[in-house]
Structure 1
């Protein structure tokens, strides 16, 4: 069985990578021609929301896995596409209609308490409901529902918080994926992380060279993948530990600038700069 799973992992990452490589130029052209460009951290106008490629590249390999072995992959695959598609759509809404005036959980919550709905607030509410729907379908008791809901929702926002410099969100996703792989190397559900990773590897050079921004469309998709994979593969004690880490990370980033901390640490700054155009 393990050999079969490893073959499926390899085949899935190859298929998603090839699809992403094939469609990426067209996605970049369509977004640019539609006028959805935004200044990056250097002020250059580049297409935003290119992370749409992650969802588009995941449909075929996921469908093939379900066709090959419905018993193993059907439930996880459908949940994966549901979470990935939902958060891609919400992220795209934020990229197209959102304002940069309010950021962070605190900013959006303050607006909502005043009766003002932002695209970030919409993402917070609908993303929370989506996470709850997923948790209800995979959990055995109410405590597990709460934990799984928070893990999925906070994983989405955690990757979003990283997406402030070229390549940072992608590197964060790959690091999280490697850790999940080392912990649960024999789980068939690792394939969802692998599928997204294939598309990300095809896209990442454009991000590192500051030619495209994945936007919330992409960072939400990456976070959703980590979230759904985590709740499916992690044992309960590690899942609780991961949830505590997520909560601490969100509290920390509300108080301190992650970019400034990375810039002051030689190792973190080296990893952050790795692969970028200088």
Structure 2
């Protein structure tokens, strides 16, 4: 319990410190955006979430390979997400949305920033889970196929959190809930990979709900990947297959269904979603 509190403190302090540094940096102006209400808002929470989540997760890792896995998942997913946040804001990129849009653009000879993000997050998931599973594969408890599914869990979690980042606070609430689920029970063999990222999310949620900052693809992908790595660390073959199926189903559903409308129509979910948000 004490170690988790320490990691939570590291995650929260790193998130607040990094957020302040990003907002005071020369690049702060390039991170300004207009949200769905027409309000000016900063994407500074994205880099803050990526850096603080990765560093605090690495601090809780049991061995150097698990620490490298945590850094890879958070920083790589955050970096390609930040690229999409910046390059994807260009007019020629905005016309392509969703998985179908990015792959349709490829048929037209256009490599979108969104496609680069998809490939980058997938690669980050594969490398991070390969590092994480090294000992378990050597012992024979996991196979290469299990590592590939685990990579799908990391990428799927990153995409799921990103899908929710369309209203203030929603993605961070989901991150906290999923992170708590990943941290239930005994600590996974790779160490405590989620206490820091969950605390980082908690440290940023007030500003997100207050519409001062937003995660963007950078923060949503990074925190989702960190939580996904935590879930992969504590599951075996069947657990990973189940999680992968859930995230894949959510990705497919998002192409046809508005999650915002579903949440608004569902008692319980609606109240949780709206809690703390500005009217």
Decide whether aligned partners of structure 1 residues 95 and 31 sit closer, same or farther in structure 2, where only a CA change above 3 A counts.
Answer: farther
Pairing of 1:98-117 with structure 2 (within 5 A)? 98=88, 99-117=93-111
| Residues 131 and 24 of structure 1: CA distance in aligned 2, closer, same or farther (over 3 Å) | closer
Contact 1:49-1:92 at 8 Å conserved across structures: no
User: 2:143 aligns to what?
Assistant: 141
Runs of 5+ unmatched residues, structure 2:
none
The 8 Å contact of residues 49 and 217 in structure 1, kept in 2 or not, is answered as: no
Residue 170 to residue 189, structure 1, CA distance change in 2 (3 Å): farther
In structure 2, the CA distance between the partners of 1:78 and 1:104, relative to structure 1 (3 Å rule), is same
TM score, norm. by length of structure 1: 0.88
**Cα distance in 1 between the residues matched to 2:57 and 2:272:** 31
The answer to whether 1:37 aligns with 2:38 is: no
- Bigger drift between 212-221 and 188-197 goes to 188-197
Residues 232 and 106 (structure 1), Cα distance of their counterparts in 2 relative to 1, 3 Å cut:
same
**How many aligned residue pairs are there?**
267
TM-score by length of 2: 0.88
Q: CA deviation at 1:221?
A: 0.7
Match of 1:172 in 2: 174
1:130 is aligned, of 116, 124, 127, to 124
Higher helix share: 1
Alignment of 1:222 with 2:216, yes or no, is no
Unaligned 5+ residue runs, structure 1? 1-5, 67-71
CA contact (8 A) 1:31 1:37 kept: no
**2:84 maps to 1:89:** no
Residue 61 of structure 1 deviates from its aligned partner by 4.1
CA distance in structure 1 between the partners assigned to 2:191 and 2:264 by the alignment: 32
